Amino acid sequence: MILLAIFSFAPADCTLNYKGIYAIKLDEEHSAVLRFYEDGTVLASSSVNDYMDVMSWFNKENKDMVLKGTYKLKKCGIRFSVSGMTGEQEYEGTVNGNKIDFELKDKGSKKSTKRTYTFYAL
């Protein structure tokens, strides 16, 4: 009983990881990826490649292929909007260790969905 009490009050890990990507497999062919930078920049994209193969083009300099924005992290809460040539999206979620749970809204279609992204180190 004492162990249960100790673990239930353990602080959440609200740290973003910057040396890799957060990804979710959308279906058999497509993945969605996010990349965070320490300067507050966030990139978002989708890929038909394996998400571990995106690093050759998934960076700040490749503006034509990614959505870009600035994130705000407050305790474990994170929110940001990203935009680019292919659209605009809003994210709001919670960082929990190597996962981030998001509610994502597409501004064009007005649709929203929930996704859990997992961190993959590079």
Calculate Rg over the CA atoms of the chain: 15
The C-alpha atoms of residue 1 and residue 76 are separated, in whole angstroms, by 27
* Percent of the chain residues past pLDDT 70, beyond the cut: 89
Could you tell me how far CA 120 lies from the centroid of its own chain?
Answer: 11
Instruction: Look up residue 91 and give its two tokens.
Output: 């994210």
Q: What is the pLDDT of residue 51?
A: 67
Domain ranges of the chain: 11-121
Contact 101, 94 (CB under 8 A): yes
Instruction: Look up residue 43 and give its two tokens.
Output: 């990139």
Topology adopted by domain 11-121: Lipocalin (2.40.128)
- Per residue in 67-113, pLDDT tens? 999 999 999 999 999 999 889 999 999 999 999 999 999 999 999 99
The C-alpha atoms of residue 117 and residue 81 are separated, in whole angstroms, by 16
The C-alpha atoms of residue 70 and residue 41 are separated, in whole angstroms, by 5
